Amino acid sequence: MLTQIKDGGEHSTESADAWFTPAARAPLLALLKALEARGYDFVTATPATHARVLSRADRKVAHALRDVLGWSLPFAPDLIEKDLRDLLEAASALAADEGDMLRSRLRVSRVEGTLFLHSAYPTSAHDAVFLGPDSHRFAQLITVRMRSSAHRLLDYGAGAGVGGIVAARAANRAHLTLADVNPKALFLASINAEHAGVDHTTVQVQTPEDLSGAFDLMVTHPPFMIDADRRAYRDGGDLYGGQLSLDWTLQGAQLLAPGGQLILHTGVSIVEGHDVLLNALRAQLPSDGFAIDYRELDPDIFSEELDSPAYSDVERIAAVGLVLTRADG
């Protein structure tokens, strides 16, 4: 069944999460398989870049499959092949747009050779399932720094599951626990993991402290922006958006097995030349039993956010990577 989209500048959808039902799992898995067979590829840009591209005169309606499942453009029903359209409809992932046009409620992007389902643009809902350029940096950090001998893996704040799935595919005989506060994220992450052939379980939790067990590897990519709308996938809390990164690191350290690693990718605010997250970590991480490797990966990201009054004290936002290793024994 299709739902009419009401256009109010940026499109808004009624029942935009209609795909969030067990009945959608099989058709969404079949969709990913069909897209793989067609060699589908799309790299998701930042929301600002996405908006700039869609502002072009020739980017108002879809002309190809990538426009439908990547750029979230409305499309004529006969633009895409019938089997793909039928799978999207069976998953309740299609909505009716103006006239006879349709629009996909989900996007599909490729990271490190694997396809991932995630929320359609714009990601304005509080429980949107995020994937973007940060996901690529996160995945690359994991592949470079993780130990392939890890068997018990945790992706905390999993979102679409990029970090955990990339890690599990690089490990030997790994079991992945996908943890998130958002049940919609866990639903899509589980489908993405199954498509990638990853043995996994999902668990809905509020904080890392809600978990138990000893993990060989924990990967996490906390929200790090100062977000006035307090969207769960985006808002990093106090400390200029760095509070969740601090909390998840401190709590996650306690979940590591001897010799275990915590790999974190996040963004930090630089205030008067000082990294506010690094200063807090130095003050609060246990002085014994952990080795820390912390470095800037990109000195200047999301520069458009500096126009916001909330960032009036911030001179830049940097992408950083942290590898925390627990001592053996």
Q: Where are the domains of the chain?
A: 5-119, 133-326
Cα separation, 176 vs 69, in Å, equals: 27
**How does DSSP assign 284-298, residue by residue?**
HS-SSSEEEEEEEEE
pLDDT at 242: 86
Written as tens digits, the pLDDT of the chain (329 aa) is 343 333 333 444 446 789 999 999 999 999 999 999 999 999 999 999 999 999 999 999 999 999 999 999 999 999 999 999 999 999 999 999 988 999 999 999 999 999 999 999 998 888 999 999 999 999 999 999 999 999 999 999 999 999 999 999 999 889 999 999 999 999 999 999 999 999 999 999 999 999 998 999 999 999 877 776 666 656 566 777 889 999 999 999 999 999 999 999 999 999 999 999 998 999 999 878 999 999 999 999 999 889 999 899 999 999 999 999 999 96
223 sits in which H/E element: none
Cα separation, 159 vs 163, in Å, equals: 9
pLDDT at 9: 39
| Cis status, amide bond into 22, omega within 30 of 0 | no
CATH code of 133-326, in short, is: 3.40.50.150
Which among 200, 250, 241 is positioned nearest to 220, based on CA atoms? 250
**How crowded is residue 231: how many other Cβ atoms within 10 Å of its Cβ?**
17
Amino acid at 297: L
Which residues, in sequence order, are bridge partners of residue 321? 265, 295
* CA 74 to the chain's CA centroid: 23
Contacts by 51-56 with C-beta closer than 8 Å and gap 24+?
51/122, 54/121
Instruction: Supply the pTM of this predicted model.
Output: 0.91
Dihedral sign for Cα atoms in the order 177, 32, 264, 269: negative
Cα separation, 161 vs 143, in Å, equals: 15
